């Protein structure tokens, strides 16, 4: 009886939460990262990449963008050990860019209501004013692009970088594609060098 009351109370609080999609996305990223960080899971998936050549590189590049598939992607890149890492980085970066564009369009379509609500909160308004006052509007935007680009280049989930660009800037899809391709290619190249 007490347990049922606690579950109902928790469900009620979650339904009243202002940003359920963002909370759900954060939970999915954490849960998926936890699952795919298990050595036996990563080993199984990296073993599937054997013998796929540049088709495998393209597939691994596409998966490089999603937080929960990044360990699989890295395992595939390591397993495939492409001879020409420059070509592998360019091809993998291009396919990762395609995945980022999918994320971008999904975020723009389904999360914009929550981003607009978030922008109207006092904390966000004050933070935005402070940053713009300190840096100016253009520098603030360029720093957000650079920060998002570093997230995209790293093994961190690209969803975070794309969320920054889709939700907090007015970036065009063409510009996102350029940033994504460059930074994903650089991230994959550095990972292959290591």
- Which of 47 and 180 is assigned the larger pLDDT? 180
State the Cα–Cα distance between residues 176 and 162, nearest whole angstrom.
Answer: 8
Task: Using pLDDT thresholds of 50, 70 and 90, give the confidence band for residue 46.
Answer: low
pLDDT of residue 2: 57
Of the listed ranges 43-47, 59-63, 93-97, 113-117, the least confidently predicted one is 43-47
Instruction: Name, in order, each residue with C-beta under 8 angstroms of 86's C-beta and a sequence gap of 6 or more.
Output: 189
The position carrying tokens 């990449």 is: 49
- Greatest mean pLDDT range, 34-38, 75-79, 174-178: 174-178
Task: Using pLDDT thresholds of 50, 70 and 90, give the confidence band for residue 167.
Answer: low
- 2, 93, 121, 128, 179 from 168: Cα distances, Å: 42, 24, 13, 10, 16
Does residue 80 surpass a pLDDT of 80? no
Give the start-to-end residue ranges of the domains of the chain.
Answer: 2-193
Q: Dig out the tokens for 49 from the structure.
A: 């990449």
- Which of 177 and 8 is assigned the larger pLDDT? 177
Task: Using pLDDT thresholds of 50, 70 and 90, give the confidence band for residue 98.
Answer: very high
Mean pLDDT of 80-104: 88
Average pLDDT, the chain: 75
pLDDT of residue 141: 76
Cα dihedral across residues 160, 161, 165, 168: positive or negative: positive
Q: Dig out the tokens for 84 from the structure.
A: 């020409």
Task: Using pLDDT thresholds of 50, 70 and 90, give the confidence band for residue 99.
Answer: very high
pLDDT of residue 24: 67
pLDDT of residue 60: 87
For 113-140, how does the pLDDT look when each residue is reduced to its tens digit (9 = 90+)? Answer: 766 776 677 776 776 677 677 777 677 7
């Amino acid at each position: 009886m007490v347990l049922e009351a606690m579950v109902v109370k928790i469900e009620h609080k979650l339904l009243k939460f202002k940003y359920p999609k963002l909370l759900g996305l954060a939970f999915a990223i954490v849960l998926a990262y936890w699952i795919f960080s298990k050595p036996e899971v990563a080993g199984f998936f990296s073993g599937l990449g054997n013998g796929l050549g540049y088709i495998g590189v393209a597939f691994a590049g596409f998966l490089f963008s999603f937080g929960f598939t990044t360990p699989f992607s890295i395992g595939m890149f390591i397993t495939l050990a492409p001879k020409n890492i420059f070509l592998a980085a360019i091809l993998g970066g291009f396919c990762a860019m395609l995945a980022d564009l999918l994320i971008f369009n999904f975020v723009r379509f389904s999360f914009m209501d929550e981003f607009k609500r978030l922008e109207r909160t006092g904390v966000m308004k004050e933070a935005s004013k402070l940053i713009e006052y300190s840096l100016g509007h253009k520098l603030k935007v360029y720093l957000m692009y650079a920060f998002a680009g570093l997230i995209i280049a790293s093994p961190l989930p690209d969803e975070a970088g794309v969320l920054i660009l889709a939700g907090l800037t007015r970036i065009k899809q063409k510009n996102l594609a350029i940033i994504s391709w460059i930074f994903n290619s650089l991230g994959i190249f550095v990972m292959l060098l290591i």
